[in-house]
A and B are shown apart, each in its own frame.
Chain A
Amino acid sequence: MMDALAWIEQTRLSVFVREDFYAYFVLLIGHAWGMAFLVGGGVAVSLRVLGVASGTRMERFRGFFPFMWFGAALALVSGLGLLAGYPAKALTNWIFALKFACLIGAALLVRRMARQAFPAAARGEPTSAGSRLTAAAALALWFSGVACGKLLLYTNQMLLTTD
């Protein structure tokens, strides 16, 4: 694995991300914007299913999904760029995997809410306890994903394979 990581570090993209003054920070900004749209949209949907802003039609929160998709795409592309710059930093840290698990788990729970709670709300039925539990779990996972992203900055064992 270390050989593969060392090979990635020698690619032109990896060197560019590390050595260009703007590249790294442009990627960081893109990642922060992407995460803000993805997590922000997820938080809004979860809060609604939990009963906040109950005067709004829950199923219409689907209107925020395109912004969550945009955020996810932006976070993924910029995240891959950051990963290309310092592959060993992330891929040798188990918190990186935990971050992905939290975000994917939260996204799957939002999909579950969209498939179960949204149609029920459209039929005029009250939100079930199960859906509220799903929303609370999604909220916890979104914030855990954010926490893991920040922990990555402080828990890496190495920056480059040459360290």
Chain B
Amino acid sequence: MPNDPIFDVVGIAVWAIEVGIYDVMYSPWGWTVVEIVHFTGLCLLLGTVGMFDLRMMGFAPGLSLPALHKLVPFGVLGFCLSVASGFMFVVSAPDQYIYNPAWQTKMALLGLAGLNMVLFYLTTSRRLQALGPDDPPPFAARLFAFASLTCWLGVIAAGRVITAFRPPFFWCAWCS
């Protein structure tokens, strides 16, 4: 195994075994059920945050943005389902995820989506409160929405490619 100064992949796997996650994942239907939860969460996210993004980009006029924002908590629920199920994948086969370039790309895009969301709520979201249903969203909101949707579609794409790689330990770029 690699001499990894950041992630103790053996320790993570041992922890997963000790707390029982490993047993759940490697039970006959473990991966299947957790994958279903993972993609259901993503669909919920795209169905709420994604549709909010599309409206903020100027599509589906006539829908009030502040009212449509009430869909977002369901997106948060979807995100939580995806994070919890994703966590179970990673701790059950840590070396296959942590050293996987597709998973690393997915995490980078998740980080960008999070940063984009924080910047949106800090700088632009208040300006949407006063918008009527037919008012065009401001340019900054359109940009944030485009970046958000691009990141989420990228997260999905990178997630689908994870299984293309079976990373050997020497793929660890930061290991000695």
- Per-residue 0/1 for A57-85: is the Cβ within 8 Å of any B Cβ (1 yes, 0 no)? 10011111001000000000000000000
Give complex CA distance A125, B63 in Å.
18
> Contact between A150 and B67 (Cβ–Cβ < 8 Å)?
no
Complex interface: chain B residues within 8 A of A33 (CB)? 153, 156-157
The contact sample of 22 A-B pairs, CB cut-off 8 A, is A32-B159, A36-B43, A40-B47, A40-B51, A43-B44, A43-B48, A44-B47, A48-B71, A52-B70, A52-B71, A53-B67, A56-B67, A56-B68, A60-B60, A60-B63, A64-B59, A67-B54, A67-B59, A143-B43, A146-B43, A154-B29, A154-B31
Residue of A nearest to B43 (CB): A39
| B74 nearest CB across to chain A (Å) | 6
* B40 interface contact, C-beta 8 A: yes
CB-CB under 8 A for A153 and B35, given A47-B71, A67-B54:
yes
State the main secondary structure of chain A at its contact with B: helix
Give complex CA distance A60, B63 in Å.
6
Residue of A nearest to B71 (CB): A53
List 18 additional contacts besides A47-B71, A54-B70; criterion CB under 8 Å.
A25-B160, A33-B156, A36-B50, A36-B156, A39-B47, A40-B43, A40-B47, A43-B44, A44-B48, A47-B47, A47-B74, A55-B67, A57-B133, A60-B63, A61-B63, A64-B59, A146-B40, A154-B29
* B62 interface contact, C-beta 8 A: yes
Give complex CA distance A63, B44 in Å.
18
CB-CB under 8 A for A41 and B51, given A29-B160, A53-B67, A151-B36:
yes
> Contact between B46 and A36 (Cβ–Cβ < 8 Å)?
yes
From B51, B59, B160, give the contact of A44 (CB < 8 A).
B51
| B90 nearest CB across to chain A (Å) | 18
Complex interface: chain A residues within 8 A of B40 (CB)? 143, 146-147
* B39 interface contact, C-beta 8 A: yes
Give complex CA distance A146, B47 in Å.
13
Give complex CA distance A36, B45 in Å.
9
* A142 interface contact, C-beta 8 A: yes
| B172 nearest CB across to chain A (Å) | 23
Complex interface: chain A residues within 8 A of B156 (CB)? 29, 32-33, 36
Q: What are the 5 A-B residue pairs with the smallest beta carbon separation, nearest first?
A: A63-B60, A55-B67, A43-B47, A40-B46, A40-B47
Give complex CA distance A52, B75 in Å.
12
